[in-house]
């Protein structure tokens, strides 16, 4: 019998129902194939630390691709067709991104999902996302599809009220989560990213979220 550590072994794809309208597709995405596309997007629309309406600079760096991109500044949160940093449209959503988002959504029970926005988050150690709802999208009937790349993170998954105690879920490279139906408006966040060294992304975690923003 070969000795085998249970730590960090890649697991075969699996489907884990999380709640009403929410499913975790472990290992659904080919993270190594996606990373160069993330770098291409970032070459056209560089990662930046947005400022919240309250004046705090976010620890997570962000960029977007697709017809619309999520932005924040002192005036508020919104989706915009142009990158405010460059004045140009956001880079197009790579075909492989769209295909992945649509097939994951279909696997989660949303066969008609047609994302028009992809927010790309970049975490470095210490970066976190405090509990929030995503409600700036025009179509709250559409799900959000999230894809994790690189260092693992602890995802905080709360309820429909901010005060609901969140569950903790470790998201690893290649994991995809589909959040729709009654789970679409749950409060959620990401714990402070611990230090780490990932074979694909070294000291970073990336997360793609596909949305129907219009
Ligand atoms: C559940 N991103 O960008 S992805 C975000 O890992 C965001 O970067 C996190 O929350 C990240 O807004 C979490 C999982 C996720 C994304 C959106 C959701 C879960 C969600 C919207 C509604 C419910
Ligand atoms: Fe969110």
* pTM score: 0.95
Cα–ligand 2 centroid distance for 6 (angstroms): 30
pLDDT of the residue at 7: 62
Q: Are 212 and 116 spatial neighbours (Cβ–Cβ below 8 Å)? A: yes
Looking at the domain assignment, is residue 7 inside a domain?
Answer: no
Give the chain's length.
214
The percent of residues in the chain predicted with pLDDT above 70, rounded, is 95
- State how far Cα 167 lies from the chain centre: 18
Cα–ligand 2 centroid distance for 124 (angstroms): 17
Q: How many structural domains is the chain composed of?
A: 1
Helices and strands (H, E) in the chain, number of each type: 2, 13
Looking at the domain assignment, is residue 4 inside a domain?
Answer: no
Each residue of 86-121: pLDDT tens digit?
A: 999 999 999 999 999 999 999 999 999 999 999 999
Average pLDDT, the chain: 95
Atom number in ligand 1 closest to CA 62: 3
Looking at the domain assignment, is residue 81 inside a domain?
Answer: no
CATH code for position 116: 2.60.120.590
Looking at the domain assignment, is residue 121 inside a domain?
Answer: yes
68 lines ligand 1 (CB under 6 A): no
Cα–ligand 1 centroid distance for 13 (angstroms): 21
Ligand number with the minimum distance to the CA of 193: 1
Q: Which domain holds residue 124?
A: 14-44+60-65+94-211
pLDDT of the residue at 1: 43
209 lines ligand 1 (CB under 6 A): yes
pLDDT of the residue at 214: 97
Measured by CA distance, the residue closest to atom 3 of ligand 1 is 209
Q: Are 66 and 118 spatial neighbours (Cβ–Cβ below 8 Å)? A: yes
Whether residue 9 is predicted with pLDDT greater than 80 in this model: the reply is no
Cα–ligand 2 centroid distance for 96 (angstroms): 22
Looking at the domain assignment, is residue 77 inside a domain?
Answer: no
Looking at the domain assignment, is residue 154 inside a domain?
Answer: yes
Looking at the domain assignment, is residue 2 inside a domain?
Answer: no
Looking at the domain assignment, is residue 19 inside a domain?
Answer: yes
Residues 160-189: what's their mean pLDDT? Answer: 97
Report how far residue 93's alpha carbon sits from residue 65's, in angstroms, rounded to the nearest whole number: 5
pLDDT of the residue at 11: 67
Whether residue 6 is predicted with pLDDT greater than 60 in this model: the reply is no
pLDDT of the residue at 10: 67
64 lines ligand 1 (CB under 6 A): no
Report how far residue 178's alpha carbon sits from residue 115's, in angstroms, rounded to the nearest whole number: 13
187 lines ligand 1 (CB under 6 A): no
Q: Tell which residue, 158, 155, 153, has the closest CA to residue 196.
A: 153
Each residue of 22-81: pLDDT tens digit?
A: 999 999 999 999 999 999 999 999 999 999 999 999 999 999 999 999 999 999 999 999
End-to-end CA distance of the chain: 55
Q: Are 172 and 166 spatial neighbours (Cβ–Cβ below 8 Å)? A: no
pLDDT of the residue at 8: 59
Cα–ligand 1 centroid distance for 55 (angstroms): 22
pLDDT of the residue at 12: 76
């Amino acid at each position: 019998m070969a000795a085998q550590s249970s730590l960090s072994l890649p697991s075969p794809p699996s489907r884990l129902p999380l709640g009403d309208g929410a499913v975790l597709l472990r290992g659904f995405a080919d993270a190594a194939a996606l990373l160069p596309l993330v770098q291409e997007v970032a070459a056209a629309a560089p990662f930046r630390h947005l400022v919240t309406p309250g004046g705090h600079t976010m620890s997570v760096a962000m960029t977007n691709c697709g017809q619309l991109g999520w932005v924040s500044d002192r005036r508020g949160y919104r989706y915009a067709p142009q990158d405010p940093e460059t004045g140009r449209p956001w880079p197009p959503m790579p075909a492989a991104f769209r295909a992945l988002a649509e097939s994951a959504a279909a696997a989660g029970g949303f066969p008609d999902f047609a994302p028009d926005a992809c927010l790309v988050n970049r975490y470095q150690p210490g970066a976190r996302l405090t509990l929030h709802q995503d409600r700036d999208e025009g179509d709250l009937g559409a799900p959000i599809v999230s894809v994790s790349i690189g260092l693992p993170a602890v995802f905080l998954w709360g309820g429909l009220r901010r005060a609901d105690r969140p569950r903790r879920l470790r998201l690893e490279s290649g994991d995809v989560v589909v959040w729709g139906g009654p789970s679409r408006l749950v409060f959620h966040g990401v714990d402070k990213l611990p230090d780490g060294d990932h074979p694909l992304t070294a000291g970073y975690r990336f997360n793609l979220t596909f949305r129907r923003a219009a």
